[in-house]
Copies of this chain bind each other. A is one copy, B any other.
Amino acid sequence: MACSKYEYVKKFEQESILLPNTYVVIRIDGRGFHKFCESHNFEKPNDERAIHLMNRCASHVMELTTDVMLSYGQSDEYSFILKRDSTLFGRRASKIESSLVSLFASCFVFYWKDFFPDLSLKYPPCFDSRSVCYPTFENLYDYLCWRQVDCHINNLYNTTFWALVQQGGMSPLDAENKLKGTLSNTKNEILFTQFNINYNNLPAIFRKGSILIWKEVKEVVKTNPDGTSVSR
Contact at A13–B129, with CB atoms within 8 Å? no
> Residues of B contacting A194 with CB < 8 Å?
none
Contact at B12–A145, with CB atoms within 8 Å? no
> Residues of B contacting A126 with CB < 8 Å?
64, 99, 102-103, 106
> Residues of B contacting A6 with CB < 8 Å?
142-143, 145-146, 149
Binds B, one of A45-53, A70-78, A90-98, A203-211: A90-98
Contact at B98–A129, with CB atoms within 8 Å? yes
> Residues of B contacting A20 with CB < 8 Å?
11-12, 135
> Residues of B contacting A110 with CB < 8 Å?
109, 121, 123-124
Q: Does A202 sit within 8 A of B, measured CB to CB?
A: no
Interface size grouping (class) on chain A: 35 or more
Known: A7-B146, A106-B126. A19 touches B98 (CB 8 A): no
Q: Does A101 sit within 8 A of B, measured CB to CB?
A: yes
Q: Does A59 sit within 8 A of B, measured CB to CB?
A: no
Report the minimal beta-carbon distance from A207 to chain B, rounded to whole angstroms.
Answer: 14
Q: Does A132 sit within 8 A of B, measured CB to CB?
A: yes
Contact at A31–B99, with CB atoms within 8 Å? yes
> Residues of B contacting A105 with CB < 8 Å?
102-103, 105-106
Query: 27 A-B Cβ contacts within 8 A?
Result: A2-B153, A2-B184, A6-B142, A7-B146, A8-B142, A10-B146, A12-B134, A12-B139, A14-B16, A14-B17, A14-B133, A16-B16, A19-B19, A21-B139, A28-B98, A60-B124, A64-B126, A94-B129, A98-B98, A98-B101, A99-B126, A102-B104, A102-B126, A103-B105, A105-B105, A105-B106, A110-B124
B-binding residues in A (CB < 8 A): 1-3, 5-14, 16-17, 19-22, 28, 31, 60, 64, 93-95, 97-99, 101-111, 121, 123-136, 139, 142-143, 145-146, 149-150, 153, 184
